[in-house]
């Protein structure tokens, strides 16, 4: 293989990335109207609305999952139309015990169905708990530190941490096998995370606008949703359910936790609900809230479709896009002097992005034998072996016999060296 860099071919599933980006912009546009504090509220008082806004966001996200019931029943109805009744003709022998065989088959089938239903319910409850804890991390921060500003540095350590932890979750939960290229990408992002973490710690003592304690809650929320996505992928693989049913089940089980949290807030933090009223007063805000629910549903739907069609390891690509977009937005609307570290952070994020596309084999590099055991090269090797087996051309047979001899010699040398 003479090529040093190989780009994988695109397929129709890549359209979900485009749809996710479009919905990201739509949601950003809706939220810019929906969650804007009026000018009469002083800056020193705006922090009082942080907790109310976070709680409202939790409610909207939970309600958005229930919209999945519409496409779920549509899909179910379409599948029923496609299914044709199966007609089986079997010869019945008077001496064979066909009735007993039928009962055994039915019992085994029912056992498998019940086992699968239990697995679906178990994973759905786990996913709902993890999703709730992901959002509850930010709520807890606002409860403990109500006057602090929830902000992080631009191109902070949070994204490389999410990348590393998502790779690790896929390795242990989904049993994803790592080859040389995957280990290289993991090590690369781990080094980037450590460098950015040191920078964030140093600068958090110099900048009062960024609270170092907030990073603890952010990293905790990343852990929760990374585990959620891995178990969600596992449910889609082994539970044989659709993305729509996954979202619906998550919404149902998560609603129990949201209700329990609401009861707690009514007893101990009732003023939160008076803050929520501020965001939904009047027909204009009510319409924007409904738009927000629909927008959040489609954003979540396309994210889970990406996870379903590919893997959770593709989600970091969206996170890097988010961070880059917000940086460009800040530079346009709030231009200022960049700190000395911003160029280093941008360079590290570019390297991190390259690491993600290498890990997912979107791009394969054929340098220092890193790509030798990737899916692309294994498929190519299989094609060559198939061509060698099925070919009658003497030139092709001679070429591949020489190739196989060289490969066997290389394997013997490596064995002797060990």
pLDDT in tens, 222-269: 999 999 999 999 999 887 789 999 999 999 999 999 999 999 998 888
What is the overall mean pLDDT for the chain? 79
Q: Rounded to whole angstroms, how far apart are CA atoms 379 and 381? A: 5
Q: Is the pLDDT of residue 26 over 80?
A: yes
At 87 the pLDDT is 42
Lowest pLDDT segment from 9-13, 187-191, 389-393: 389-393
**For every residue of the chain, which 3-state class applies, written as one string?**
CCCCEEECCCCHHHHHHHHHHHHHHHHHHHHHHHCCCCCCCCHHHHHHHHHHHHHHHHHHHHHHHHHHHHHHHHHHHHHHHHCCCCCCCCCCCCCCCHHHHHHHHHHHHHHHHHHHHHHHHHHHHHHHHHHHHHHHHHHHHHHHCCCCCCCCCCCCCHHHHHHHHHHHHHHHCCCCCCCHHHHHHHHHHHHHHHHHHHHHHHHHCCCCCCCHHHHHHHHHHHHHHHHHHHHHHHHHHHCCCCHHHHHHHHHHHHHHHHHHHHHHHHHHCCHHHHHHHHHHCCHHHHHHHHHHHHHHHHHHHHHHHHHHHCCHHHHHHHHHHHHHHHHHHHHHHCCCCCCCCHHHHHHHHHHHHHHHHHHCCCEEECCCCCCCCCHHHHHHHHHHHHHHHHCCCHHHHHHHHHHHHHHHHHHHHHHHHC
Between 100 and 24, residue with greater pLDDT: 24
- How many C-alpha atoms does 305 have within 13 Å on its Cβ side? 17
**How many angstroms separate the Cα of 42 from the Cα of each of 39, 131, 142, 231?**
7, 33, 19, 44
Q: Is the pLDDT of residue 320 over 50?
A: yes
**Average pLDDT rounded to a whole number, residues 207-223:** 84
Between 24 and 405, residue with greater pLDDT: 24
Q: Is the pLDDT of residue 162 over 50?
A: yes
Give the count of beta carbons closer than 10 Å to the beta carbon of residue 197.
17
CA dihedral (159, 160, 162, 163) positive or negative? positive
High-pLDDT (> 70) share of the chain, % = 72
* Pairing verdict, β 363-365 and 5-7: antiparallel
Q: Rounded to whole angstroms, how far apart are CA atoms 374 and 346? A: 29
Lowest pLDDT segment from 23-27, 45-49, 294-298, 406-410: 406-410
Give the bridge partners for 365, in sequence order. 5
pLDDT class of 88 with cuts at 50, 70, 90: very low
pLDDT class of 187 with cuts at 50, 70, 90: very high
- Which residue in 176, 255, 250 sits closest to 241, CA to CA? 250
Between 149 and 79, residue with greater pLDDT: 79
At 52 the pLDDT is 84
Give me 131's structure tokens: 């999703």
Lowest pLDDT segment from 192-206, 223-237, 316-330, 379-393: 379-393
What pTM did the predictor assign?
A: 0.81
Q: Is the pLDDT of residue 292 over 80?
A: yes
Give the bridge partners for 6, in sequence order. 364
Q: Is the pLDDT of residue 163 over 80?
A: yes
- Which residue in 103, 214, 115, 113 sits closest to 157, CA to CA? 214
At 46 the pLDDT is 60
Phi, psi values for residue 275, rounded to 5°: -70, -35
Q: Is the pLDDT of residue 378 over 60?
A: no
Lowest pLDDT segment from 79-93, 213-227, 256-270: 79-93
Lowest pLDDT segment from 28-37, 40-49, 113-122, 153-162: 40-49
Helices 158-172/180-204 angle, 10° precision = 140
At 153 the pLDDT is 81
Q: Is the pLDDT of residue 200 over 70?
A: yes
- Which residue in 243, 129, 230, 114 sits closest to 176, CA to CA? 230
At 209 the pLDDT is 65
Q: Is the pLDDT of residue 106 over 70?
A: no
- pLDDT tens-digit readout, 133-160: 999 998 999 888 887 767 778 888 999 9
At 391 the pLDDT is 55
Between 64 and 214, residue with greater pLDDT: 64
* C-alpha dihedral (400, 401, 403, 409), degrees to nearest 10: 160
pLDDT class of 114 with cuts at 50, 70, 90: confident
Q: Rounded to whole angstroms, how far apart are CA atoms 270 and 262? A: 9
């Amino acid at each position: 293989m003479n090529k040093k860099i190989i780009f994988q071919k695109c397929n129709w599933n890549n359209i979900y990335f485009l749809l996710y980006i479009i919905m990201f912009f739509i949601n950003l546009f809706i939220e810019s109207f929906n969650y804007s504090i009026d000018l009469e509220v002083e800056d020193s008082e705006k922090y009082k609305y942080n907790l109310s806004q976070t709680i409202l966001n939790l409610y909207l996200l939970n309600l958005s999952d229930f919209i999945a019931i519409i496409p779920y029943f549509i899909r179910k109805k379409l599948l029923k139309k496609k299914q044709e009744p199966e007609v089986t003709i079997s010869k019945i022998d008077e001496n064979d015990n066909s009735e007993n065989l039928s009962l055994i088959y039915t019992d085994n089938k029912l056992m498998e169905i019940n086992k699968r239903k239990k697995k679906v319910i178990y994973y759905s409850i786990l996913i709902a708990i993890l999703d709730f804890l992901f959002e509850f991390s930010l709520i807890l921060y606002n409860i403990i530190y109500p006057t602090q500003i929830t902000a992080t540095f631009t191109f902070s350590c949070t994204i490389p941490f999410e990348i590393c932890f998502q790779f690790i979750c896929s390795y242990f939960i989904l049993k994803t096998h790592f080859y040389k290229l995957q280990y290289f990408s993991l090590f690369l992002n781990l080094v980037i995370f450590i460098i950015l973490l040191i920078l964030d710690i140093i600068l958090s003592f110099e900048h009062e606008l960024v609270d170092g304690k907030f990073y603890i809650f952010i990293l905790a929320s990343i852990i929760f949703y990374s585990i959620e996505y891995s178990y969600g992928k596992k449910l889609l693989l082994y539970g044989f359910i659709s993305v729509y049913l996954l979202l619906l089940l998550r919404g149902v089980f998560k609603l129990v936790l949201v209700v329990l949290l609401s009861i707690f807030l009514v007893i101990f933090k009732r003023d939160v609900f008076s803050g929520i009223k501020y965001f939904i007063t009047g027909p204009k805000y009510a319409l924007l809230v409904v738009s927000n629910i629909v927008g959040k549903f489609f954003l979540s739907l396309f994210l889970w479709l990406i996870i379903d069609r590919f893997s959770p390891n593709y989600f970091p690509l969206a996170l890097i896009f988010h961070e880059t977009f917000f940086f460009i937005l800040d530079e346009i609307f709030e231009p200022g002097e960049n700190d000395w570290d911003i160029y280093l952070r941008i360079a590290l994020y570019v390297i991190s992005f390259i690491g993600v596309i290498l890990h997912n084999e979107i791009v394969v590099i054929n340098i220092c034998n890193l790509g030798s055991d990737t899916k692309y090269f294994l498929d190519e090797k299989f094609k060559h072996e198939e061509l060698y087996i099925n070919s009658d051309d003497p030139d092709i047979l001679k070429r591949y016999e020489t190739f196989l001899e060289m490969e066997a010699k290389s394997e013997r040398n490596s064995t002797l060296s060990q």
